[in-house]
Amino acid sequence: MALRHVLAPLIDFVFPPRCPLCGAAIGSASGLCMECWSTLVIPGEPSCDRCQRPFGDALPAGGTCAPCLAVPPRHSGIAAATLYNEPSRKLVLAFKHGNRIALAPLMAGLMLPKLPHIGEGWLLVPVPLHRWRLWKRGYNQAAELARQIARGTGARLCVDGLERHKRTPSLGSLGKLARKRVLSGAIRANPRRKVCLKGASVVLVDDVLTSGATSDACVSALKRAGVERVVIACFSRVLDEALTV
């Protein structure tokens, strides 16, 4: 670690850091340029007391959104660093499919302020990849985010707390109901980790929360393993209606 800090100025001189979104020169390899920072949308308050869906001026603080009233969630809240727009999509795609693992500290750093109550008493469990997809990609992007969050909070990392033991197709083009059908029975708690999961408070970590089908399957598996509460943490959350508020 110390050697890396000593060599950092030389590395930056030979390979000047660039903004991962626009390519402009920046002062640090772990950030964005000022213009690109301003394009990220950070969820604000007031928000739903159950899922943290931003209300804008539509409802007062402490209220519950219509989706949570219709179907009360089994999780204990959602901590999203950004709302999903074009800049956050580019970061996610570069991180997830472009082998840009070095983006993990930047993305996790934006997630940390949304998790002020997380500490040593919590477990960090990433959304799992099937072993064949993990082998093909070479890394689990959710696990890389969880590692960074563990360093910033002191929470314990349980990288294999969940298993995706059933191979599933890409969910990108599927709707919520189709995703739910595909994921049925695909995710379970790792039998070797049930002792540490039982009674635990867990942060379920992922890069993007889209329809909630994957996180719902993970929460169900964790609850069956005896987990007491689950907070979902993601870098970006798909809430198109919130972008217009």
Give 140-168 pLDDT, tens digit per residue.
999 999 999 999 999 999 999 999 988 77
User: Per residue in 27-76, pLDDT tens?
Assistant: 766 789 999 999 999 998 889 999 999 987 666 667 899 899 999 999 99
- CATH class as words, domain 42-243: alpha beta
Task: State residue 187's pLDDT score.
Answer: 93
CB-based contacts of 244, cutoff 8 Å, min separation 6: none
User: Per residue in 164-193, pLDDT tens?
Assistant: 988 776 666 666 777 777 777 889 999 999
Q: Where in the chain is the domain with CATH 3.40.50.2020?
A: 42-243
Which segment of 97-101, 106-110, 187-191 scores lowest on mean pLDDT? Answer: 97-101
Beta bridge partners of 54: 47
Roughly how many angstroms between the first and final C-alpha of the chain, as a whole number?
A: 43
* Mean pLDDT calculated for residue range 208-215: 91
CB-based contacts of 88, cutoff 8 Å, min separation 6: 40, 41, 82, 235, 236
CB-based contacts of 138, cutoff 8 Å, min separation 6: 99
Q: Tokens standing for 4?
A: 């890396």
